[in-house]
Structure 1
Amino acid sequence: MVEAWYMDESADDQRKPHRLEPDRPVGLEQLRQLGVFYWKLDADKYENDPELEKIRKERNYSWTDIITISKDKLPNYEEKIKMFYEEHLHLDDEIRYILDGSGYFDVRDKEDKWIRIFMEKGDMITLPAGIYHRFTLDEKNYVKAMRLFVGEPVWTAYNRPADHFDARGQYVKFLAQTA
């Protein structure tokens, strides 16, 4: 099961857990209220998993690829790690399925506080269009993930501030409705 918590404000290594003291865990329902959805799947059978196919069909995830993020597999590794950790949003949902390794997705809550979501093998997450977020590896420095898209992939990240986009406005309106 996925684990999430409110982050501290420390400037230490981004790959550390950054838990508040005392710990403030975040449950799946609180993530759902932010538009973040989670599934636990069997990553060992991702190529022929009926559960994954069902989710893809229901949510119209028609395009996939696989990315490996590690020093020896990803060109321009250091530059990419910095880019992934810049606070940004996308105009489409971001869907990631962890096939191996682990890392963190950080998302902003309704009060603009960071929530850290620990992702490991078998975890699949959907971040809604317009949510400010970022990604980093944990201290193992390795993740292999499937990226899923509705239609053709769009790779554009818009660093904060990006409040002028319709996707951000729609997301803010969604948050107001779930309050």
Structure 2
Amino acid sequence: MGIEAWYMDTSDEDQRQPHKLKPNQPVSLETLKNLGVIHWKLNADIYDDDPELQLIRKEQGYSYMDIITVEKNTLPNYEEMLKVFYQEHIHLDDEIRYILDGQAYFDVRDKEDRWIRIAMRKGDLITLPAGIYHRFTLDETLLVSTELH
């Protein structure tokens, strides 16, 4: 199963809500791929020894990995960090995230500056290309993810 993505509304209400347009305007995996956004679905329960993840890391040259748990009780300055994650920004390198548990949203801008929201769930690995404007937020559940380099 692929990830679900859609064009966002312009509401300033709670960033953790889906913010789908009415009617919903889904975004295809092909559209995401054309923006340079690539997705894999993996088995997060075996991420330590997952041969598929090891192959992706080898093929893509990802040698570094850290794990972050985004939860009130474990992430220092939780509320402030959520605000930081949700600030629109770009990186000089690809951003690679792997959701080990929970759910979250990555928002990316398309070539017409419209926001696309990508729903990420356990087992989703995504790469965002260097230079793409993006932001990150939780939905209303716990999130454990890992960042690869």
The letter of the residue matching 2:30 is E
Match of 1:49 in 2: 50
Cα RMSD of the aligned pairs, angstroms, is: 0.5
Matches within 5 A, 1:22-101: 22-101=23-102
C-alpha distance in 1, partners of 2:57/2:8? 31
Which has more helix, going by share of residues? 1
Of structures 1 and 2, the one scoring higher in RCO (CA 8 A, sep 6+) is 2
- TM-aligned CA deviation for residue 59 of structure 1: 0.2
Query: Please, what TM-score do these two structures have when normalized by structure 1?
Result: 0.82
Larger CA Rg, structure 1 vs 2 = 1
The letter of the residue matching 2:44 is A
- TM-aligned CA deviation for residue 86 of structure 1: 0.4
Match of 1:173 in 2: none
1:144 is the counterpart of 2:144: yes
C-alpha distance in 1, partners of 2:101/2:140? 14
C-alpha distance in 1, partners of 2:77/2:140? 19
Query: Unpaired segments of 5 or more residues in structure 2?
Result: none
C-alpha distance in 1, partners of 2:63/2:12? 39
Report sequence identity in percent: 67
The letter of the residue matching 2:102 is G
The letter of the residue matching 2:143 is V
- TM-aligned CA deviation for residue 7 of structure 1: 0.2
Match of 1:103 in 2: 104
C-alpha distance in 2, partners of 1:107/1:133? 4
Please give the secondary structure, in 1, of the residue aligned with 2:47: helix
- TM-aligned CA deviation for residue 139 of structure 1: 1.5
C-alpha distance in 1, partners of 2:90/2:71? 23
